[in-house]
Amino acid sequence: MKLRQTTLIAALALTLGACATQNPITSSSGVNAAPSPRGWAVQWRGVGSDTLMKSEIGATKSLRPLAEAGNMYALGPVSGIKGEIAMWNSDPLMGMVVNGKPTLVRDPDAHGSWLVWSQVKGWKAVPMPNRTLSYPEINAAVDELASANGITDPNMPLPFLMQGKIESASVHIVNYTDDGKPMTKEKVGILKTRFHLNNETVAVLGFRSSRHSTNPGTIHMHARTADAIYHIDEVKLAPGAVLYLPER
């Protein structure tokens, strides 16, 4: 376990080598953006609720242009709702369920059924509150620490990273089997293969974006372990975690 945790921490360290108006700009390609005078911006194509309730589960955004651009961070579901994307520093990583087991996959030719992304060239480390934090408390801490570091608009889309240890977490990887029928609310829970993590060192990629939060609150987080990428549903984050905000 120590070797796996050391490898994960080293991988995160390599990645640490966005935002303006609340009104997005939509290009002719269907890509939305919140342009930023700070040198980074959050862009997206599609939103989580559209994917689940409007059956927009096909290939919407290719990962290859982001992988080739450098300094890109992105998350969303794999096209077909068949996995969880978490691109770190243009490394196209995905968590997928293979033979019933969580598996880490790298594929620059994959697509997202929806995707939110940002190009960030530098990150600022900020200590999280030194206590056990729940999901809502992490959301509040991201807002408070972003504001304290000059990102004062709580509605501004924001990429962030975290590194730390989780005491426990309920997580899932979407693994939808298409039956040819429209997506419904009843299917949403079925398409998730659920797992539980305990005392696990993780790297977290998140976006604050009300358009892409599928949990209560405004943040969407994917956790990277040595074995896979997971969507975080509920979590107890141990004291000592570090938040990384995009440099202004």
**Distance (Å, rounded) from C-alpha 124 to C-alpha 153?**
18
- Determine contact, residues 156/20, Cβ cutoff 8 Å: yes
Residues 205-248 pLDDT 10s: 999 986 655 667 889 999 999 999 999 999 999 999 999 999 97
Q: What is the mean pLDDT of the chain?
A: 82
C-alpha atoms less than 13 angstroms from C-alpha of 242 in its C-beta half-sphere? 12
Helix, strand or coil, per DSSP, at residue 44 = strand
More confident of the two residues 170 and 16: 170
Structure confidence at residue 191 as a pLDDT band (50, 70, 90): confident
Whole-model pTM over 0.75: yes
Tell me what pLDDT residue 113 has: 86
Residue 199 pLDDT:
97
Report the distance separating Cα 162 and Cα 63, nearest Å: 22
**In this predicted structure, what is the pLDDT of residue 9?**
46
- Least confident span in 52-56, 58-62, 172-176: 52-56
- pLDDT for 47 beyond 70: no
As to burial, measured by CB atoms within 10 angstroms (0-12 exposed, 13-18 middle, 19+ buried), residue 189 is exposed
CB of 183 closer than 8 Å to CB of 174: no
CA distances from 167 to 57, 200, 203, 213, 215 (A): 33, 7, 14, 23, 19
